[in-house]
A = this chain, B = another copy of it.
């Protein structure tokens, strides 16, 4: 995929650096941008810059926000005694879509992964502990992802939070609603049986 004029090749390379974008898709996207209007291209470039410049981390929960406190932390109607700990901002959005949870969040910014050099210092765990200083928070729900790293992070959190005398829980594992037992993997089924509830 060489031989493009330099500015086009440069744009192709930029698109290709994005996750899940291969060579042909990068070319298609670069051509689309090149063929868009001058205004659209300017708006796209501006959107990229603004996403970097205007978005910061909430000073309390480390979720993405355009203001000092994110809209969840700034909402007095939310239950400030519960904190749901998640790996990233996408998890907050997923949970918010359910319209079920009314507590606060804490975004770790990843999960423990020693192989990738991510230890407790790389995550926003210090910030989480700082929020537990007064007696406002009574309960922590650990909602890290159901992966090896997410599990390890949950274990680590339970270990350091237990001495604080808080209620600590983990999201339930089990078969997904609408799923088919036939296609559920063994570990999930095992957890579903383990976590069975009286009818």
Q: Which residues of A contact B (CB under 8 A)?
A: 3-8, 10-11, 13-14, 17-21, 25, 27-34, 36, 38, 40-55, 64-66, 70, 89-90, 93, 96-97
Which B-chain residue is minimally distant from A20 (CB atoms)? B28
Chain A interface, >50% SS class: helix
**10 further interface pairs, Cβ-Cβ under 8 Å (given A8-B64, A13-B47, A17-B40):** A5-B64, A7-B50, A7-B53, A8-B51, A10-B47, A18-B29, A31-B90, A33-B48, A42-B49, A45-B46
Q: Are B32 and A18 in contact (CB under 8 A)?
A: yes
Known pairs A14-B43, A20-B25, A28-B19; A34 contacts B64 (CB<8 A): yes
Known pairs A19-B32, A20-B28, A28-B19; A5 contacts B65 (CB<8 A): yes
Q: Are B43 and A90 in contact (CB under 8 A)?
A: no
Q: Are B41 and A7 in contact (CB under 8 A)?
A: no
Q: Are A55 and B96 in contact (CB under 8 A)?
A: no
Q: Shortest Cβ distance from A16 into chain B, in angstroms?
A: 11
Q: Are B18 and A55 in contact (CB under 8 A)?
A: no
Q: Are A34 and B52 in contact (CB under 8 A)?
A: yes
Alpha-carbon separation in the docked complex, A64 to B9 (Å): 12
Report B-chain residues with C-beta under 8 Å of the C-beta of A43.
14
Alpha-carbon separation in the docked complex, A3 to B34 (Å): 30
Q: Are B45 and A7 in contact (CB under 8 A)?
A: no
Alpha-carbon separation in the docked complex, A27 to B3 (Å): 31
Q: Which 3 A-B pairs have the closest CB atoms?
A: A45-B45, A41-B52, A7-B54
Known pairs A3-B93, A8-B55; A18 contacts B33 (CB<8 A): yes
Alpha-carbon separation in the docked complex, A90 to B31 (Å): 9
Report B-chain residues with C-beta under 8 Å of the C-beta of A19.
28-29, 32
Q: Are B47 and A14 in contact (CB under 8 A)?
A: yes
Can you offer 7 A-B residue contacts whose CB atoms are under 8 A? A3-B93, A8-B51, A14-B43, A14-B47, A20-B25, A34-B51, A41-B49
